[in-house]
Amino acid sequence: MLRLSFHKRLGDFYFEIDYTIREKVTAVLGVSGSGKSTLLNCISGILHPDEGVISFFGQTLYSSQDRVRLAPEKRRFGYIFQEGHLFPHLPVQKNIFYGHNDKSLSKEQIDLDRVIGILEIGDLLKRYPRQLSGGQRQRVALARALAINPQMLLMDEPLAGLDLGLKNRILPYLYHIKETFDIPILYVTHFISEAMALADDVLLLADGCVTAQGEPHKVLTSPSALPIAQMTGVENILTLPVIRSDKERGVTELEIGNQKLLVPYTEVEIGELMPVAIRAEDIIISLESELMISARNVLNGIIVGIDPFGERIILLAEIEGHPLSVKITNEACNQLGLAENMTCYFVIKANAINLLWQT
């Protein structure tokens, strides 16, 4: 679908890729400076590679050998930026229809009324960007990108500026777009949870090259993804089978060996594997199991390593064969007398567990 074989130097930074994107939604992850924006800008035509080829469904967008440099507007790629970049002097309706052409070359013109309905922005059409929340601006930006009837959507960290609550509200809209329209998406992010929720394929970038690629659950739970997880504060990613889902209690139970991990309720088949993410600093250590606390999860495990981490300690633990990292203070470690091979209890609130899942 999208053939990428090129290299680009920007000052001291060198980017190189040789990969063919074939899935509907491909997520590109990497820490800052890994080359994510360079990749996206070369695909969109904002930047030109130094040498190589970029083609989309057989159409050459760039070729150093054939001297082809298709202009960005002729590529018809919808580009969604982190800040949305709406026109401040235009109301939402005119922002959306900016660049829309009823005489598009495509035979299957996107129904904008349907887009507006899916994104639930019909009541915002007369407002100006300054009157919108961050989440509303991003939904309008998405509608505007779809209005040009794009061959592909390029998303450059569209949720990076939003808080967790807004992200959780916007992700279902992105999922609906994925399921509703036959438009491939290249989704750049450094949040593993977003990639898990949306992507069919994942590319990991580091220092200007691809370090891993493939199915999201496999790639994003591998050691290759650890630098990204640590950067975003999520050191623990577990993929566990569902054993029960109780809507009335508001919990879904996952199996972790002979123990249970309770997470917020989600509709899912029994036996399905569910990936979850837990920040190391959201786990509490206890030497006792009978605790009068509100946390739903008190799991028995063993400490297998203790590593200094600045002013804190990283405990490397194991629960029923599943590795777990826990971040605590030096003082807490000394007060509890924690040591390697010690058995203790790991306390985790259900609402501190992020579901890397999209129903």
* Residue 17's CATH number: 3.40.50.300
* Residue 313 confidence class, pLDDT cut points 50, 70, 90: confident
Q: Are residues 69 and 211 in the same domain?
A: yes
More confident residue, 98 or 61: 61
Please state, in angstroms and rounded to a whole number, the distance separating the CA atoms of residues 181 and 167.
21
pLDDT of residue 66: 93
- Assign 96 to helix, strand or coil: helix
Is residue 188 scored above 90 in pLDDT? yes
Same domain, residue pair 127 and 140: yes
Q: What is the average pLDDT score of the chain?
A: 86
Residue 23 and residue 108 in one domain: yes
Question: Above pLDDT 70, what percent of the chain?
Answer: 91
Q: What average pLDDT does range 197-223 have in this prediction? A: 85
Last residue of a domain, one of 213, 231, 249: 231
The pLDDT tens digits for 251-292 are 899 999 999 999 988 888 899 888 788 888 889 999 988 877
Q: Are residues 172 and 296 in the same domain?
A: no
Query: Both 205 and 280 in a single domain?
Result: no
Angle at 125 between CA 124 and CA 126, to 5 degrees: 95
- Do 109 and 139 reside in the same domain of the chain? yes
Residues 177 and 32 occupy one common structural domain: yes
Query: Based on the structure, what is the number of domains in the chain?
Result: 2
CATH number, domain with residue 264: 2.40.50.100
Domain limits for position 272: 236-355
Band of residue 232 on the pLDDT scale cut at 50, 70, 90: low
Question: Is 96:111 a contact under the CB 8 Å cutoff?
Answer: no
The number of CA neighbours under 13 Å toward the Cβ of 175 is 14
Which tokens hold the place of 9?
């130097």
CA distances in angstroms from 70 to 19, 119, 154, 359, listed in the order given? 20, 31, 17, 38
- Nearest of 326, 320, 323, 322 to residue 307 by alpha carbon: 326
Mean pLDDT in residue range 320-329: 89
pLDDT, tens digit, 9 for 90 and up, residues 18-58: 999 999 999 999 888 899 989 999 999 999 999 999 999 99
The pair phi, psi for residue 166, each rounded to 5°, is -65, -40
Q: Are residues 166 and 181 in the same domain?
A: yes
Residues 59 and 174 occupy one common structural domain: yes
Asked if residue 106 has pLDDT above 50, the reply is: no
Neighbouring C-beta atoms of residue 23, cutoff 10 Å: 16
Last residue of a domain, one of 231, 256, 289: 231
Is this structure's pTM higher than 0.75?
no
User: Residues 116-167: pLDDT tens digits?
Assistant: 888 889 999 999 999 998 888 888 998 998 888 899 999 998 887 776 667 7
Nearest to 148 by CA among 182, 107, 117, 102: 102
Give the sign of the dihedral formed by CA 348, CA 354, CA 356, CA 359: positive
* Cα–Cα dist 208/28, whole Å: 12
Residues 93 and 14 in one domain: yes
Domain shared by 253 and 209, yes or no? no
Q: Where a domain ends, among 206, 231, 256?
A: 231
Whether residues 75 and 175 fall in one domain: yes
